[in-house]
Amino acid sequence: MPKRIVSCTINGTPTEFLCEPRWTLLEALRDGLDMTGTKEGCSNGNCGACTVLLNGESVVSCLVLAVECEGAELRTIEGVAEGSHLDEVQNAFLECAALQCGVCTPGFIVQAESLLDEIPEPTEDEIRFHLAGNLCRCTGYDKIVRAVQAAAEKRQTADA
């Protein structure tokens, strides 16, 4: 199948990549661009492991076609840390032990980024509602919710 060129910005870097029209954004990231931090759990939009930010909105990249991303601004797990400096959400996941196997973690972190961008001081209910599209089978979610609470608090203190 002939490939198309897609031009977009990924984690702040202008990027061009080749893809078949049938490729999902998830395939383009993982197989085309070797950005394997975004994980595949179900490929039908049910688990949230492949969550990325597309023009600032969180999407499951398995339900977006790569060719739809022409001109888009993408942010993936690889772009959450500033260089080697982890951000508050990543640090909170480490300090709160909010991961076990870790395969859902990139999706949760990206989803939490989108939540905190939208609601800087979320309640527990808002956190749970916003993260409900991301499945974790290991933790029972307790420590993930606490990590997002801790990250929100840290961010508020830093901004104050």
Partner 1 sequence: MATADLRSTEKPAYKVIGTRPVRHDGVDKVTGRAQYGADVRLTGMLHAAMLRSPYAHATVKNIDTSKAEAVPGVRAVVTSADLPDHGDRMVELGEGAVNMRHLATNVLAGDKVLYKGHAVAAVAADDVHTAREAVKLIEVEYELLEPVLDVRQAMEPTAPVLNDDVRTQSVGGADPGDDAKPTNVAKHILFEKGNAAEAFETAHLVVEREFHTATVHQGYIEPHNATAVWNADGKVTVYTSTQGSFTVRQQTAELLRIPVSDVKVVPMEIGGGFGGKISVYLQPVAVLLSRKSGRPVKLVMDRADVFEATGPTPGSYIRVKLGVSEEGKLVAGDAYLAYEAGAYPGSPVGPGCMCIFSCYDFPTARVEGFDVCVNKPRTNAYRAPGSTNACFAVDTVMDELAAKLGIDPAEFRLMNAAEEGTRRVDGPVYNRIGMVETVEAIKQSEHYNSPLEGPNRGRGIATGFWFNAGLNSSVSATVNLDGTVSLVEGSTDIGGTRTSIAMQFAETLGITAEAVKPAVVDTDSVGYTDVTGGSRVTFATGIAAVEAAKDVMAQLVERAALVWGCSADDVTYSDGAAHGPNGENLHFDEIAERLNTTGGPVIGSGTCSGVNQSGAFGTHCVDVEVDPDTGKVQILRYTVAQDAGTAIHPDYVEGQMQGGAVQGIGWALNEEYWYDGEGSMRNATFLDYRIPTCYDVPMIETIIVEVPDPNHPYGVRGVGEVPICPPPAAIANAVHQAVGVRMQQLPMSPPRVLAEILKK
Positions touching partner 1 (CB under 8 A) are 1, 20, 22, 30, 34-44, 46-47, 49, 76-78, 80-81, 86, 90, 93-97, 99-106, 109, 124, 127-129, 131-146
Task: Provide, rounded to whole angstroms, the least separation between the CB of residue 45 and partner 1.
Answer: 8
B/e letters for 29-61, b = 16+ CB within 10 Å, e = fewer, are bbebbebebbbbbeeeeebbbbbbbbeeebbbb
d(CA 136, CA 109): 12
d(CA 31, CA 22): 13
Nearer to partner 1, 3 or 71 (CB): 3
Task: Provide, rounded to whole angstroms, the least separation between the CB of residue 53 and partner 1.
Answer: 14
Nearer to partner 1, 24 or 160 (CB): 24
Nearer to partner 1, 71 or 137 (CB): 137
Task: Provide, rounded to whole angstroms, the least separation between the CB of residue 119 and partner 1.
Answer: 15
Q: Give residue for tokens 């606490």.
A: 146
Task: Provide, rounded to whole angstroms, the least separation between the CB of residue 49 and partner 1.
Answer: 6
Please provide residue 51's backbone torsions phi and psi, each rounded to the nearest 5 degrees.
Answer: -60, 130
Nearer to partner 1, 62 or 160 (CB): 62
Task: Provide, rounded to whole angstroms, the least separation between the CB of residue 37 and partner 1.
Answer: 2
d(CA 160, CA 158): 6
Nearer to partner 1, 46 or 71 (CB): 46
Of 105, 96, 7, 99, nearest in space to 48 by CA: 105
